[in-house]
A and B are shown apart, each in its own frame.
Chain A
Amino acid sequence: MRVLSRPESRLGILVSLPFAAFIGLFLIYPVTVVVIKALTPDGHLSADALSRALSGTYRRGFINSIELSLASAVLGGLIGVVLALVVATMSRPRWLHPALESWSAVASQLGGVPLAFAFIATIGTQGLVTRALAEMGLDLRDYGVTVTGFWGIVLVYLYFQIPLMFLVMTPAVQGLRQSWREAAAILGASPLRYWLSVGGPILAPSVLGGIILLFINSFTAYATVFVLNPGGALVPLQIRFLLQGNIITGEEDLGNAIVVWVIALLLLSLIIMTALQRRALKWIHS
């Protein structure tokens, strides 16, 4: 075998060099420059830009973005989990499960501009649902739901968050063995007790990991909010504002600093998510 592989010994370097060069040039290089500029706003090391990026309107932006992402992640996560649990208990229409899975794979990717248009047609001022409810004497605005407002945007984001959670949770839910439930029942546990002591703890890492995934997903979403409410105080929209007006000196460093915070937040979320998923896998594969 060793004789056979000799001519290919340099193959590893040959294939990894272009890959490394590509990542280096188009990802590492721009990100490194952003980090350096954010840390040295006036040419020397200072945390000035980084702290300015978390004060005033930019602080507001981060709080709004985190609140929006949390709301859509928690709501989408819970509905997605319930959907996965409900579907797992139903074996009767055989097409239900595969159909839902295919459809979720599609819907979890339907974000962006078209989705914003769809919801303008639904709950916008001229939207069909808005007007149908108005006929019944219900004004969505009375409940704080406008397509440009907080809950309106949450409602739009749920369109891709629920299917994404369903996709992430389906393997975990299928990992719950029927025999565990039966064993618990034989030992005298009520369904509630089963969920508190067995099902809940086993699903918890997957659910949390999924919610963090949804959080990242909505924190970085740009197109939908840009179409719905371009002036909103959300981090992605503020980055746009700074990028387009970066003639003013100093503002550029602010943009860099905001990006550094965003990357730090995403990196932290990704690390927590990976750790949770690793825990969750223990049960799925055993």
Chain B
Amino acid sequence: MDPLMTASRKGFVLRWGFLILVAAYFVVPMLAMARFAFQNVPTALLTRDNVFADWSISGLLTALSNPKIVSSASISFWIAVFAIALNFALLVPLAIVTEVRSPRLRPALTALTLVPWVVPPIALVVGVATTFRAAAPWFLGNTLCLVPFYALWAMPFTYRVLDAGLQAINARTLYEAARGLGASLWTVIFRVLLPNMRAAMVAAAMLTVALVLGEYAFASLLLKSTLPTEMVVYEGRDPRGALALALFVMVITALCLGVVVRLIRRRGVSITVTGF
């Protein structure tokens, strides 16, 4: 046989072997979790022989009808909504003005919006507990006190996505053209720039939802009841239901991030949220 052929065949086998191994590492935990969560069989009795036995979503339904889970899920939902709104209120005007009027400040702003990243939840929670607990106990008493902090950690990627969105539509040219044609500032913003930034804004919102659905350290150390913290409490009572719920949350997170990937693919935006 041609030696070149065998070499490339060996490479082919090695490559696919490696890919299959990696794939197995990523798929097996999900399958194991699915079996724990959705098979009505005591976990100690789950074997190869009963892979198809007694699948049901009753665990998930029980978890989803638990009043604590329901109320914490609705709190997490509102936290996400308010954090998104807060970030848009702060960052959309800032990104637009920077891009249109002083693009030289863009790198500085990009660096500045990275700062929250150096102070992860587990570190900031100490500062928040020591300052706000004394200065404004009413503030930490409310679960919605999480909103500004989640907005803070969503800031690095929100700004990046918005900025990339503005770059992609050539915001400065659009602005100057519209202004030159006699449009007022508000007309430019609401009828030219914002409609064109819809994809970027949806992407940023979905990333924030993923962050809120995943953040545990900050909420749990401030003793707040959000979906992730309530999930851990629930695990003590009903492990099967908690696993089903966790898998459900993972699927929602994956769907949110799937939307993000579709919207900002090939724009060169890194969409990493780390530290959670």
Contact = CB atoms under 8 A, between A and B. Distances in A.
Contact of A27 (B30, B152, B217): B152
Interface stretch (A56-64, A178-186, A196-204, A251-259): A251-259
A79 B275 contact: no
Contacts, number: 234
Interface residues of A, number: 86
A111 B29 CA distance: 13
Given A11-B97, A30-B132, A122 B22 contact: no
A109 B273 contact: yes
Contacts of A131: 46-47
A205 interface: no
A1 to B, nearest CB: 8
Nearest to A18: B90
Contacts of B30: 118
A47 interface: no
B4 to A, nearest CB: 13
A236 B122 CA distance: 6
Interface in B54-107: 86, 89-91, 93-94, 97, 101-102
| Chain A, interface SS category | helix
Interface of A: 1, 4-5, 7-8, 11-12, 14-16, 18-19, 22-23, 25-27, 29-31, 33-34, 37, 79, 82-83, 86-87, 89-90, 98, 101-102, 105-114, 117-119, 121-122, 126-129, 131-132, 158-159, 162, 164, 167-168, 171, 213, 216-217, 220-223, 226-227, 236, 239-240, 242-244, 246, 252, 255-256, 259, 262-263, 266-267, 270
Interface of B: 15, 18-19, 22, 25-26, 28-33, 35-37, 43-44, 46-48, 86, 89-91, 93-94, 97, 101-102, 112, 114-132, 148-149, 151-152, 176, 179-180, 185, 210, 214-217, 220-221, 228, 231-232, 235, 242-243, 246-247, 249-250, 253-254, 257-258, 260-261, 265, 268, 270-276
Given A82-B18, A223-B215, 15 more contacts: A4-B180, A12-B101, A18-B89, A22-B151, A27-B152, A34-B127, A89-B15, A90-B15, A101-B265, A111-B276, A164-B272, A216-B274, A243-B221, A263-B119, A266-B123
